[in-house]
Homo-oligomer: A and B are copies of this chain.
Amino acid sequence: MTLSMSALTLPAVERALTNLSAILDKGLTHAKATGIDPDTLVQARLAPDMLTLAGQVQRASDSAKGLVARLAGVDNPSMADDETSFAQLQDRIARTLAFVRGVDRKLLDGSETRTVTLPVRGQTITLGGQAYLMGFALPNIHFHVTTAYAILRHNGAPLGKLDYLGPLA
């Protein structure tokens, strides 16, 4: 198997989003089992100036669809950031996965040397495709999935590292 940007990118993105969905399912089950209001848990955060659980899922989604759209050179579908329930967050993840799976994987190949521009904190950053994938987008996706996991763990959800990593071969 030759290394290619599609093989490096698409399984990693799908895996992170699929694991995030499973983590949220366990979080909702935990809330129902312990009497935590699920809609309140969606607003939980680890520090007053950190994003809520909903915000972590929204940014994981943005990082995932932005990565695939920029590498493939296709439009990045806008999503409204209006989710307030576990069901809506699951729908957001499902729409993100549908977009990722619908992109022609051949469009990603060769993107390691393409220039990608993206907005970061009010500035425009320019990176090569490979540096964008490995040094920015994947760390960012993993950051938000991990922080969603940590918010739920901090609120008592019975999750383990293998929920984050997902099924291993």
Q: Using a CB–CB distance below 8 Å, which chain A residues touch chain B? A: 1, 3-5, 7-8, 11-12, 15-16, 46-47, 50, 112-113, 120-121, 125-128, 130-131, 134-136, 138-140, 142-143, 146-147, 150, 153-154, 156, 161-162, 164-166, 168-169
Task: List residues of chain B with CB within 8 A of the CB of A11.
Answer: 131, 134-135
Q: In whole angstroms, how far apart are the Cα atoms of A164 and B134 in the complex?
A: 14
| Number of copies of this chain that the complex holds | 2
Closest to A146 in B: B146
Main secondary structure on A side of the interface with B? helix
Closest to A3 in B: B3
Is the pair A46, B47 in contact by a Cβ cutoff of 8 Å?
no
Given A130-B1, A134-B12, A168-B120, A47–B154 Cβ distance below 8 Å? yes
